Structure 1
Amino acid sequence: MGNWLGHVGSGFFFLIWASWWVLQLSFNTLRNKYERDGRAGVPSRPLRLCRRIPLEGIIICLCTAFGFIAENMYPYTRWKMFDEEGNFIEANVWQHCTIWVAFWIFGLVKILAACCCVNLKPWIPVFRTFSFFIQSIVFLNHLKDRDVLNTKLHVLLLIAILLCVLFSGMEIWMKKDKFLPFMRMWATFVNGTWLIQVGCALYPIRTGRFQWKPDDQSVKFFTMIFAWHCIGNVISVVMLYLIVAIAMKFTFGHKRGYSQLEIGEDSDNEQRSDTMYLERLQGGNRSQNNWSDNSL
């Protein structure tokens, strides 16, 4: 993360993750509603297959492993933690790698809980909160020995991360709350978009902009931009939910059942047939009785 590409790549990781959460939770919430109304059909084969495969855990493990390797390979190879004299080197690199390891562990827990260790499912929010907590500890150290603008950018990032810790931690005890998951997803969106913003502010050569001056005006400007990120990501969560809602309305919007008119006509026809059969049967019995009486 110590460069423009590292900040942007990490930001997109959280954006993809939060988008997946919103789409998944929106689909499950609306599908349960349609099932209660009797309008949900049988899931398609690709959807049933996706439910069986722990895609989220696999994607998290792959992305975090790629991030860990990229931290030590870009822009040059630096796998050493200590030099020849025993001094700790490449502190930022290994701190960032610690974050990737924490989220990799969370992805592994997701995979194991879906495949072979069902007892791990209650621990998923715990490990998710633990991952965000590790990220907050590492970025807390980024506030030292930096100019006023750099410090402010990381303070705002730390606020977004602590919100992720807060909302994810509250879900451990408040599992039935319907709003906490969306608040966690919103905070994760802010975490991702602000990471991208920090990269573009600290490494403006990549974006073709001038170097921001570390003064009060820049601090006030980026504080306002952070507020815009918070507002914009609320809109992002709502828009994703509406997209899923509209798509599912076209898919499950009509009740499945038989027409009442057709059922009524069939019932009347059956009733008429039964009545005619009984009349014939009774007529046959009467003629038989008359023939018996006459023969006597």
Structure 2
Amino acid sequence: MMNHSEGRTGPNHAKVMGSFKGHALPGTFFFIMALWWSTKSILKYIFRKQKRTCPGSKALFRRAEILEGIVSVCMPPGMAGEQFIPGGPYWSLYKEGRWNQILGWHHFTMYLFFGLVGVSNILCFTINSLPVSLPKLMMSNALFVEAFIFYNHTHGREMLDIFVHQLLFLAVLLAAIVAFMEFLTRNNVLVELLRSSLILLQGTWFWQLGFVLYPLGGHPSWDLTDHENALFLTMCFCWHYLLALTIIGMNYAFITWFVKSRLKRLCPSEVGLLKNVEREQESEEEM
């Protein structure tokens, strides 16, 4: 996805623009960030239940939000390095009477909006007058922009190339809708984890796109005109989401076990308090 001056051709294939690294890099970014967001949501949920035992957790999460903002601001410019690779646009949008590397500019626009999410994180948790829900709104905006870009990203390509990008568009659009729901609600851990699972799906599917469009290690190329490949990838997309849900579930189980085991070791009396608070909150949620 980074290098749009190079492509792959083969039997029954049109030219496929981009590169494996260009898909693996944003895929890795979204995978790592989804794991972090799910971890943060789970920890906040657990600490809310035992807020009487963790008086410093609010300040800790405030610093974590600022650090997350710094990472979110720094990562997109790194992924936008396609501007400067050999044959890249080098910030030139229009060259020799035509648009220059326009798909690369698509990616840069997507990265720019995720950088704005990081800026909003830093500002909201350093300036008290700003609403703390602003980063959630900016996250929703960034995902909607990404969905819009990928919807219009595949003009003139082969069937399978278009199809795998349509599945990516579906994952991004669902994540955007859930992120907007998260903006409208408050402290709903299920909505937060659902958003994280969809972004995790997005990250792993970026990698799947890389393997489909740019096979490595001498593996045979996919036939981009074969409809059976599309049928397989439909099922594969569901497997990716199952994997995302499994990872989120395992993360929840591990963090819950780790926090409770640490509490039991440091202060056994607080474990009973934690269980009582859990029961109280579950009763309130049922009401």
Normalising to structure 2: TM-score of the pair? 0.81
Aligned residues: CA RMSD: 2.1
Q: 2-side partners of 1:132 and 1:33: how far apart?
A: 30
Q: Report the alpha carbon displacement of residue 78 of structure 1 after superposing the two structures with TM.
A: 2.1
- Identify which of 217, 221, 244 aligns with 1:211: 221
Report if the CA contact (8 A) 1:200-1:207 is conserved: no
Report if the CA contact (8 A) 2:47-2:54 is conserved: no
Q: 2-side partners of 1:71 and 1:118: how far apart?
A: 37
- Residue range with higher mean Cα deviation, 151-160 or 47-56: 47-56
Q: 1-side partners of 2:70 and 2:33: how far apart?
A: 12
Q: Report the alpha carbon displacement of residue 251 of structure 1 after superposing the two structures with TM.
A: 1.1
Alignment of 1:168-183 (within 5 A): 168-183=179-194
Q: Report the alpha carbon displacement of residue 25 of structure 1 after superposing the two structures with TM.
A: 1.0
For residue 73 of structure 2, give the secondary structure of its aligned residue in structure 1.
Answer: helix
Matched, 1:81 2:93: yes
- Identify which of 120, 126, 131 aligns with 1:115: 126
| 1:59 matched residue in structure 2 | 71
| 1:248 matched residue in structure 2 | 259
Name the structure where helix makes up a greater proportion of residues.
Answer: 1
Identity over the aligned pairs, expressed in percent?
27
Q: 1-side partners of 2:270 and 2:181: how far apart?
A: 39
Report if the CA contact (8 A) 1:113-1:119 is conserved: yes
Alignment of 1:32-181 (within 5 A): 32-35=48-51, 40=53, 51-52=62-63, 54-68=66-80, 70-79=81-90, 80-85=92-97, 87-116=98-127, 118-181=129-192
Q: Report the alpha carbon displacement of residue 4 of structure 1 after superposing the two structures with TM.
A: 0.6
Between Structure 1 and Structure 2, whose CA radius of gyration is higher?
1
Report how many residues are paired.
249
Matched, 1:234 2:245: yes
Cα gap change, 1:243 to 1:75, in 2 (>3 Å):
farther
Q: 1-side partners of 2:105 and 2:148: how far apart?
A: 13
Q: 2-side partners of 1:41 and 1:127: how far apart?
A: 29
Report if the CA contact (8 A) 1:112-1:120 is conserved: no
What are the Cα deviations for residues 31-68 of structure 1, in whole angstroms up to 9, with x where unaligned? Answer: 222335xxx35659xx9567435111111111011112
Q: 1-side partners of 2:165 and 2:96: how far apart?
A: 32
Q: Report the alpha carbon displacement of residue 146 of structure 1 after superposing the two structures with TM.
A: 1.3
Report if the CA contact (8 A) 1:160-1:190 is conserved: yes
Q: Which ranges in structure 1 are unaligned for 5 or more consecutive residues?
A: 258-296
Report if the CA contact (8 A) 2:151-2:169 is conserved: yes
Runs of 4+ in 1 over 6 A off after TM superposition: none
Report if the CA contact (8 A) 1:135-1:161 is conserved: yes
